[in-house]
Amino acid sequence: MQNLAEILSRIDQRLAALGLTDNAASKKAGKPDAIRNARRALSAPNRQGIAMATLEALAGALDTTLAWLVDGTGQEAPSPAADAGPRIPLTPHPQKGGRPDLAVRGIALGGKEGDGDFQLNGDALQYLERPAGLLNRPKAFAVILKNTSMEPVYKHGWPIFVDPDGRKPVDGEDVLIELHGESEHEPGPAFIKTLVGRRSGHVLLSQYNPPPETLQFEAPRVKQILRVIPYPEAMGLSV
């Protein structure tokens, strides 16, 4: 018989490790109300367990195994197979990364439209080792994602790379969009989203998690739109 309280405790453990909310993890599993329903069931007089198919889906979304989620056996987060080859083929002459001189210009914090995901105030908050694909791109910089709005493509805590001198984004590409501040010298809110298009004087955007109605900003509010550099390109890999 399932111990629902212990299962929920392990779910909470994985949520904390991945920086996910109940809602985000449930939607990632394709079971939008799974964790909420499990928490409700815990206090129900006629308590029922979680369907095995739901547990299996949650295990995948939480990057763990079904056995660990159900009864705590095995590893919480399995190690990748030792013989697994690279998922992306290397260039014929792979480059080495550079010095720790790639500036992190903004820490993404999440929030409402008015708050933005972060602000770009021009200051380097820290420096990362420059990936091989950015060695000859001196104006490139990074932001650190601290929310789940772009999962599963970009995970909580991952760096996201952009280059003001890079090519302009096209519809369907992920972008950093920065709005004008309330005053000339004040930084405005900035976001990591997917560019849907430009229509009738508006910039249209979307996000991965959860997928909302299309977001839009009036074009005059937009200070800049920078293309997010895909990880293979940033790392100097060919696809």
86 pLDDT higher than 60: no
Question: What phi and psi values does residue 237 have, to the nearest 5 degrees?
Answer: -105, 155
- Which helix H or strand E contains 9, and what residues bound it? helix 4-18
- Distance, in Å, from the CA atom of 169 to the CA atom of 176, rounded to the nearest integer, reads 10
Give the angle subtended at the CA of 207 by the CAs of 201 and 211, to the nearest 5°.
Answer: 110
Mean pLDDT of the chain: 80
The whole-number average pLDDT for the span 24-48 is: 84
pLDDT of residue 161: 93
pLDDT of residue 32: 86
Report pLDDT digits (tens) over 72-82. 887 787 654 43
Higher pLDDT, 205 or 150: 205
Report pLDDT digits (tens) over 115-133. 667 778 677 888 999 998 9
The number of residues making up the chain comes to: 239
Higher pLDDT, 239 or 107: 107
164 pLDDT higher than 90: yes
pTM of the model: 0.57
The whole-number average pLDDT for the span 156-177 is: 90
The whole-number average pLDDT for the span 8-17 is: 89
- Banded model confidence at residue 225, pLDDT cuts 50, 70, 90: very high
Q: Which residues have CB under 8 Å from 137's CB, separation 6+? A: 163, 165, 166
- What domains can you pick out in the chain, each with its CATH number? 4-71 (1.10.260), 102-234 (2.10.109.10)
Least-confidence region, from 81-90, 156-165, 216-225: 81-90
Single out the residue of 106, 128, 133, 130 nearest to residue 117, CA to CA: 106
